[in-house]
Amino acid sequence: VGWTEDGVAVALLDQSRLPLEEVILRLEAAAEVAEAIRSLRVRGAPAIGVAAAYGVALGMSGAGDGWPTHLQSLLSLFRGTRPTGRNLFQVLERLEAVGAAMAGASGPEVARALRTEAERVREEDAVACRSIGEAGVKLLPPEGAVVLTHCNAGALATGGVGTALAPVYLARERGIPVEVVACEARPVLQGSRLTAWELMRAGVPVTLITDGMAGARMAVGGISAVVVGADRIAADGSTANKVGTYALALLAREHGIPFYVAAPATTVDLSIPDGRGIRVEERAPAEVRGFGGGGTAPPGVAVWNPAFDITPPELITAFITDGGVIRPPFAPGLHALASPVDRSRP
């Protein structure tokens, strides 16, 4: 996500067309950015936050005296895009605070400030990804690692090198032999379309399996760790991530494989005590009934299509975060990571 060369539109790689086509979209209105989020042209919790920040800044360009009302309607436009990922709401709260601190300023001044803030959101996410990588690489066996992952929690899903894939990229940088087993992530196939694509481009060996093959692959042996990303982490460590994650956590426990969740502080939601409070997005039945315009099920068959599931904290070995590795009990560590720092104190 970034600005187009002329600086008047948002440029975004259309992930819904990968791996067949690499198309950079030129989005000229906030509503187009919101649509891109809804239709998974940009996806992955941190990347959604970054895109929304750019979308709000874009929508505010040209704002006049009525900017406070306009800003509120932009914030609610983006709040209505996807409900589960915490990062989106964290970013919108941040942009709202920028506006609140500028009462009395002109529309163009606020628009400029929001543009700067959007760039900060992206830069800070890139730094957070790097820190996750630094913390995570220490958990991988230095003689060589095989990491099983789900969905896409790599560079495509963030403003940097990714969350779950950050330790993989850092291991590679440091000459540690590392390979990835990627689950395809039905129904939208972020694993096969995106994770396999970005790892192959980076020269990281990757083997694709269907989601149902994960147990068989673990039983064969040699998986060093399961590392996944997160869309929202409750105060007790309950983690919403791409549907299928919970089953992987159960399988990992059965096979004695460490199960790590890699995420920045911006994914943690201390206002939700446990997994029961996390709203899981349900998406259109068409995603399950077929793919790429072709049907894979009888038309009209009943479908349940939750985009995420919740992994309980007792199945998680540790969180790999931008504030370091957090081990059980998770509540104190997550609290310290995500609580706003009181900078007025020495």
Q: Report the C-alpha gap between 150 and 148 in whole angstroms.
A: 7
CA distances (Å), origin 207, targets 106, 155, 184, 219: 54, 18, 10, 16
SS3 256: coil
* Rounded least distance, CB 190 to ligand MRU, Å: 5
**Pattern 91-130, binding to ligand MRU, x per CB under 6 A?**
----------------------------------------
* Rounded least distance, CB 14 to ligand MRU, Å: 14
Q: Which stretch binds ligand MRU (CB under 6 A): 28-36, 115-123, 229-237, 253-261?
A: 229-237
Residue nearest to ligand MRU (CB): 229
Question: Under rule CB under 6 A, which residues in 244-303 are in contact with ligand MRU?
Answer: none
Q: Report the C-alpha gap between 117 and 31 in whole angstroms.
A: 19
Among 307, 310, 320, 326, binds ligand MRU (CB under 6 A): 307
- 1 is a site residue for ligand MRU (CB under 6 A): no
Asked if 198 and 233 touch (Cβ cutoff 8 Å), the reply is no
- 157 is a site residue for ligand MRU (CB under 6 A): yes
- 321 is a site residue for ligand MRU (CB under 6 A): no
Quick one: 85 or 107, whose CB is closer to ligand MRU?
85
SS3 326: strand
Among 241, 266, 317, 321, binds ligand MRU (CB under 6 A): 241
- 191 is a site residue for ligand MRU (CB under 6 A): no
Dmax (CA) for the chain in angstroms is: 65
Q: Which stretch binds ligand MRU (CB under 6 A): 3-11, 57-65, 228-236, 314-322?
A: 228-236
Q: Which stretch binds ligand MRU (CB under 6 A): 44-52, 62-70, 93-101, 320-328?
A: 44-52
Q: Which stretch binds ligand MRU (CB under 6 A): 42-50, 107-115, 130-138, 198-206?
A: 42-50
Q: Is there a catalytic annotation at residue 231?
A: yes
Among 1, 30, 43, 111, binds ligand MRU (CB under 6 A): 43
Tokens of 255: 């096979």
Question: Considering 125, 211, 231, 269, which one is annotated as catalytic?
Answer: 231
Comparing CA positions, the residue from 184, 200, 204 lying closest to residue 192 is 184
33-41 CB contacts, 8 Å cutoff, 24+ apart: 33/58, 33/59, 34/77, 34/78, 34/80, 34/81, 36/12, 37/78, 37/81, 37/82, 37/88, 38/81, 38/82, 40/15, 40/16, 40/188, 41/12, 41/14, 41/15, 41/16
How many residues form the binding site for ligand MRU (CB under 6 A)? 17
Quick one: 113 or 338, whose CB is closer to ligand MRU?
338
CA distances (Å), origin 167, targets 112, 123, 196: 35, 19, 16
**DSSP state for residue 66 in the 8-state scheme:** T
Q: Report the C-alpha gap between 146 and 168 in whole angstroms.
A: 9
- 163 is a site residue for ligand MRU (CB under 6 A): yes
* 329: Cβ contacts below 8 Å, ≥ 6 apart: none
Binding site for ligand MRU (CB under 6 A): 43-46, 85, 151, 153, 157-158, 163, 190, 229-231, 241-242, 307
Question: Would you name the residues annotated as active-site residues?
Answer: 231
